Amino acid sequence: MPEFSKLQKTINLTFKNDGILRQALVHRSYLNEHPEFACGHNERLEFLGDAVLEIVVTEYLYLNYPDTPEGDLTNWRASLVNAKMLYVIATELELENYLYLSRGEAKDKDKKSRHYILANAVEALIGAIYLDQGLDKAKVFILKMIVSKLPEILKTQAYLDPKSRFQEQAQDKRGVTPRYDILGEEGPDHAKMFTVGLYLGEELVASGEGSSKQEAQVDAAAKGLKTLNW
């Protein structure tokens, strides 16, 4: 069983109810193998934590950026509360060491599925802090661990999706608008994979893959930003 004293020290909180902290880290798969386990899974806490995270981040942006248009604030908020960012937070907190997973899930190191499990656990942890410690303590945690990432997000324009970022850079640095061409399709209709090329004029900058054309374009744009060091 995970020992939670280190985690509580890391987040600078001492839970009144250890059980709610434990539940925040119980994946549904664990209960399938351990139906007698005293705690439930973390999905309801995740639901609660998602709402708490959203209101705290929204309030912070609203109060601290009074002249910023709503559309920009929406993009900034999305960059702070998305699964990619929450996975980063989970890694910093070493949450994987505390997760209750089924044997199958524990062995499965599939990057995407494990990232989502960890991101969801951060939301569940926020829900647990809110229930056990109140909104003020949940707010302190969110501001310290998540909102603190905002300056770097603004500096790198990470709040823009890769396609928007690549287009802005291409027009600024090269004076051209990028285009995306389909290079290939593989697999049956229900599981098709697309390969898309990203071009500046006739130059193939990068190619991307995805289960939809849009996903492949985003992948190509992200790779293009790295290739051109943009």
Supply angle C-alpha 191, 196, 198, rounded to 5.
160
Stretch 70-98: mean pLDDT, rounded?
93
Q: What is the dihedral of CA 141, 147, 151, 156, to 10 degrees?
A: 120
Selected catalytic residue, list 46, 105, 123, 132: 123
Q: Which tokens go with 103?
A: 């044997």
Selected catalytic residue, list 50, 54, 161, 215: 50
Does the pLDDT of residue 2 top 70, yes or no?
Answer: no
pLDDT at residue 141 in the model: 98
pLDDT at residue 110 in the model: 64
% of the chain surpassing 90 pLDDT: 71
**Residues forming CATH 1.10.1520.10 domain(s) in the chain:** 5-156
Q: Which residues contact 26 (CB under 8 A, 6 or more apart)?
A: 37, 39, 40, 41, 42, 100
pLDDT at residue 124 in the model: 98
Active-site annotation holds for 18: no
| Best CATH choice for the domain 5-156 from the list 3.40.50.300, 1.10.486.10, 3.30.70.1290, 1.10.1520.10 | 1.10.1520.10
Mean pLDDT of all residues belonging to the chain: 92
- Alpha-helical segments (H) within 24-149: 28-33, 43-64, 70-81, 83-93, 103-107, 111-133, 135-145
What CATH class is the domain 162-227? Answer: alpha beta
Half-sphere exposure of 201 (CA within 13 A, CB side): 5
CA distance 192 to 185: 7
Q: Write out pLDDT tens, residues 94-115.
A: 999 999 999 888 877 666 788 8
Active-site annotation holds for 136: no
Does the pLDDT of residue 139 top 90, yes or no?
Answer: yes
Q: Write out pLDDT tens, residues 184-204.
A: 999 888 778 999 999 999 999
pLDDT at residue 98 in the model: 95
CA distance 131 to 104: 31
% of the chain surpassing 70 pLDDT: 98
Most confident among 26-30, 61-65, 185-189 (mean pLDDT): 61-65
